[in-house]
Amino acid sequence: MKKTVKKLTAVGLTLTSVMGLVACGGSNAGTTTNSTTAAEKKEIVKPTSFTVMADGTVATEENGGKEFYKYLEKVIGLAEGTISWVRPPHANYYDSVKSAFTSGTEADVCILSSDYYALYAANGMLWDMTDAWNNSETKNSGRLIDTADAVLASLLVPGEDGKKAMYAFTPCRGNGCCTYIKKAWLTKAGIDASKVENVTMDFNTYYGYLKQMAAPVGHYVISAPGFVSGEAPYTNYLPEFFQKAQYSFYKNTSGKYVDGFSEQAMKDALQRIQTAVADGVIDKASNGQKTSDARNKFYSTDPASESGVFTYWAGTWKRNLVTNLEAKGLDSQLIAINPIKELGKYTERLSPVWAITKKAQNPEGIFKYFIDTMLDGGDVQLAWEAGAKGTHWDDKAESVTVKGKEDKPTEYKEGQFHFLPSPEKPNTLMTKNHIDPILCLGKFKDGTTGPVSITDIAKKNGEWFAKNCESAVAVPMTDALSDNLNDVNKARKEVVAKVALGEWTVDQGMDYYNQQVSTYVKEILDSLNK
């Protein structure tokens, strides 16, 4: 195994930047043209045993995962027990991925973020599925949505030989984060909601409103899941403060790769964050805070810890936020604000992908029966969207209630799709499994988005976000990048934290950054600009 992979044991990557952003609306770009190959003619054998490593976006074992595994094998047509699942804790998933690849114990199939995907493809550790995809039922079905080509074209990355190929598949768009403001907080601060909703504010106006909202509550308005997030695009939880600053390497308008973290735009962003923390607008505890902690503060019924502004995922998550606020008896009116003037657009991340590793003994069979069936337009796709029938959803005639509301049952007729109470949290209904119907790249065989009901809240917000976002683009992998990025990222995270908390000035932070990693940065940029 290459030393570049072995070095990835301490901190996460930052490969994906927002270089040359492209609209989320779509493209006619495809992966490659159809061709008849040796792989197509080869007899594809149904797999009898393979391992899959997945994060918490797939139904966890605490939430009916075992039932999902069994049901998935049934609808795919695999023998029970064919798939062995490896399920690390969601918060530590990529630590487990790095450990597995470093020790040579990686699964046959695994979910990878765009960062790790590019790295492991460049190191020759993933199976090239280009031919399998070109000859797949899904690609040739006519059921892919208009934006699918653009999403799938982004999966073409350089392999060990430097040639671009498709080493993974994604069934959905990546989605992104937008900023939600509680209308109740605007009212409490004496701010007319019409000055915020459907208005493109500039930063000074937005920040003025944040300070107004902080005054009556006496503490922070924003509590974020970290000053920077743990995956690309990294600045997505505080977009109004980072604006167009690039956290990592990106290609500028002159066509040259540069280090965005060293630029004036990042210095200005760090100063804005430091000022906001000092003003009490941003929660100091955001540093290193988990997403669940930040969400809980947004749902909190304790006036001393409740937050009023939260930047989080669009679409289905707006519905989830509203539902959780209602469950706590809080005002659930949320305003998703337009991207501020200086930001221009929100960022849609590159989708996490499903990759087949070189360890797999029957990659063609795994692709055909596991990867290609994800968007089969029928029972398998529904399982990935909704979970296991009888555990997470059903379509039989029955009365359904959630825990604590047994006096308010909902009646369903035979054949009517409906979610069931979550096995893990029986006081709420299931909402989805791995594939979000709003983001799914494939339609069902009847030409619809399928039986999973998409609420008006989620649908409208998802459509609004698609019009107000731009897609991230990955930086090409080089040996210098994979060798040195670990150290560069460690320095970046330290600078952001200490500057934000006021322990360093911006200049002190940048001096430290240059002292620690300027040599590494130069090596990376030289490799990118060859």
Give residue 211's pLDDT: 98
Q: How far apart are CA 130 and CA 127, in angstroms?
A: 9
Name residue, tokens 């390497």. Answer: 249
Q: Do residues 406 and 382 touch, judged by C-beta distance below 8 A? A: no
Give residue 10's pLDDT: 40
Express the helix, strand and coil content of the chain in percent, nearest 5 each.
40, 15, 45
* Residue 138 CB burial class (10 angstroms; 0-12, 13-18, ≥19): buried
Look at residues 187, 181, 233 and name the one whose alpha carbon lies nearest to residue 345: 233
Positive/negative CA dihedral, 144, 146, 147, 149: positive
In this predicted model, what pLDDT tens digit does every residue of 19-49 receive, in sequence order?
334 445 443 334 444 444 444 457 899 999 9
Look over the chain and give the mean of its residue pLDDT values, rounded to a whole number.
91
What pairing do the DSSP bridges indicate for beta strands 469-474 and 249-251? unpaired
Q: What is the CA radius of gyration of the chain?
A: 23
In three-state secondary structure terms, 21 is: strand
**CA distances (Å), origin 194, targets 78, 256, 341, 458:** 55, 42, 17, 21
Give residue 26's pLDDT: 42
Look at residues 421, 423, 432 and name the one whose alpha carbon lies nearest to residue 381: 432
Give residue 238's pLDDT: 98
In this predicted model, what pLDDT tens digit does every residue of 337-392 receive, in sequence order?
999 999 999 999 888 999 999 999 999 999 999 999 999 999 999 999 999 999 99
Give residue 24's pLDDT: 53
Q: How far apart are CA 478 and CA 521, in angstroms?
A: 13
Residue 165: partners with Cβ closer than 8 Å, 6 or more residues away: 121, 128, 130, 156, 157, 159
Q: How far apart are CA 282 and CA 220, in angstroms?
A: 5
Containing 345, the helix (H) or strand (E) segment is none
Give residue 41's pLDDT: 57
Instruction: Residue 436: count other Cβ atoms within 10 Å of its Cβ.
Output: 23
Instruction: Residue 407: count other Cβ atoms within 10 Å of its Cβ.
Output: 6
What structural domains does the chain harbor? Answer: 20-174+351-383 (3.40.190.10), 177-348+478-528 (3.40.190.10), 393-429 (no CATH)
Look at residues 366, 345, 347, 344 and name the one whose alpha carbon lies nearest to residue 355: 366
Residues of the chain with pLDDT under 50: 1-3, 6, 9-12, 14, 17-23, 25-40
In this predicted model, what pLDDT tens digit does every residue of 309-340 receive, in sequence order?
999 999 999 999 999 999 899 999 999 999 99
Print burial letters for 71-90: b (CB count within 10 Å at least 16), e (below 16): bbbbbbebeeebbebbbbee
Look at residues 296, 189, 176, 286 and name the one whose alpha carbon lies nearest to residue 228: 286
Q: Do residues 82 and 73 touch, judged by C-beta distance below 8 A? A: yes
In three-state secondary structure terms, 524 is: helix
Give residue 16's pLDDT: 52
Give residue 20's pLDDT: 39
Residue 18: partners with Cβ closer than 8 Å, 6 or more residues away: 233, 246, 250, 347, 470, 472, 473
Q: How far apart are CA 90 and CA 124, in angstroms?
A: 26
Q: Do residues 274 and 499 touch, judged by C-beta distance below 8 A? A: yes
* Residue 323 CB burial class (10 angstroms; 0-12, 13-18, ≥19): middle
Q: How far apart are CA 271 and CA 435, in angstroms?
A: 38
Distance of CA 482 to the CA centre of its chain: 22
DSSP 511: H
Q: How far apart are CA 3 and CA 102, in angstroms?
A: 9
Q: How far apart are CA 221 and CA 184, in angstroms?
A: 12
Could you give the percent of the chain with pLDDT greater than 90? 80
Q: How far apart are CA 530 and CA 520, in angstroms?
A: 16
